[in-house]
Amino acid sequence: MSCIVLIPAAGMGRRMGAAVNKQYLSLAGRPILAHTLALFESHPLIDHIFVISPPAEIAYCRTEVVERFGFTKVRQVVGGGAERQDSVSRGLDAAAPADDDLILVHDGVRPCFAPELIPQLLETTRQTGGCVVGIPVKDTVKSVLDGRITGTLDRRRLWLAQTPQAFSAGILREAYARAAAEGFAGTDDASLVERLGRPVTMLPGSERNIKITTPGDLALARAFMTAEAME
């Protein structure tokens, strides 16, 4: 059984307003993507990494991130698709895992994930077939239509899904095949697996595990890394 990480990093980062795509912006002296890859490169339970990049940036990603920072577990930089779901599907095809391999899907712009959660994430996935890192909602959540509140949701049952999201490769492959056949577009990988009626466990994560999509997120990630260096 192998543990394979798919890193979708094919987003264009329009909300960042930068001259380069967000995964290549500098964070503590290295591209954001390099920090993300380092989380899994250094972990003994991870065997292989596949990065999914915009097709036009494959060579840049390989030379300026993978080779420059010596990521030996990266097996291939794969050209992504129009949407995240397309990109992950291409990464899954490139990895060609056995059904009993474990697949972790982690956003390329989540560099502050705590890798000490990886053993529990993998073990839970082995037992249940699927596991997602997330955090419970703290604020009151309102349902709104045309600017008017239509209801208040029970936050005790609401969680914010993060990544990594981990699955048995056979289950994830089936989920993606069915989604493609039925033209279903999900907001994350777990939503595709849920449609199969398969159980997906939620593993409590950290508020530091942010997805960097705006300049404010980048500033927050810098603060987290500074604080971590001082701890």
| pLDDT value at residue 181 | 97
pLDDT tens track, the chain, 231 positions: 899 999 999 866 555 555 568 899 999 999 999 999 999 999 999 999 999 999 999 999 999 999 999 999 999 999 999 999 999 999 999 999 999 999 999 999 999 999 999 999 999 999 999 999 999 999 999 999 999 999 999 999 999 999 999 999 999 999 999 999 999 999 999 999 999 999 999 999 999 999 999 999 999 999 998 887 776
51 contacts 7 by C-beta, under 8 angstroms:
yes
Cα separation, 58 vs 125, whole angstroms: 31
| pLDDT value at residue 182 | 96
pTM of the model: 0.94
Sheet with 130-136, edge to edge strand ranges: 74-79, 48-53, 3-8, 102-105, 159-168, 130-136, 201-204
Domain coordinates in residue numbering, the chain: 3-230
Q: Is the dihedral of CA 86, 163, 96, 77 positive or negative?
A: positive
| pLDDT value at residue 16 | 57
| pLDDT value at residue 18 | 54
Those residues whose C-beta lies under 8 Å from the C-beta of residue 12, and which sit 6 or more positions away, are 21, 54
Task: Using alpha carbons, select from 24, 20, 7 the residue that is nearest to residue 78.
Answer: 7
113 contacts 42 by C-beta, under 8 angstroms:
no
Q: Which CATH number fits domain 3-230: 3.40.50.2300, 3.90.180.10, 3.40.720.10, 3.90.550.10?
A: 3.90.550.10
Cα separation, 142 vs 19, whole angstroms: 36
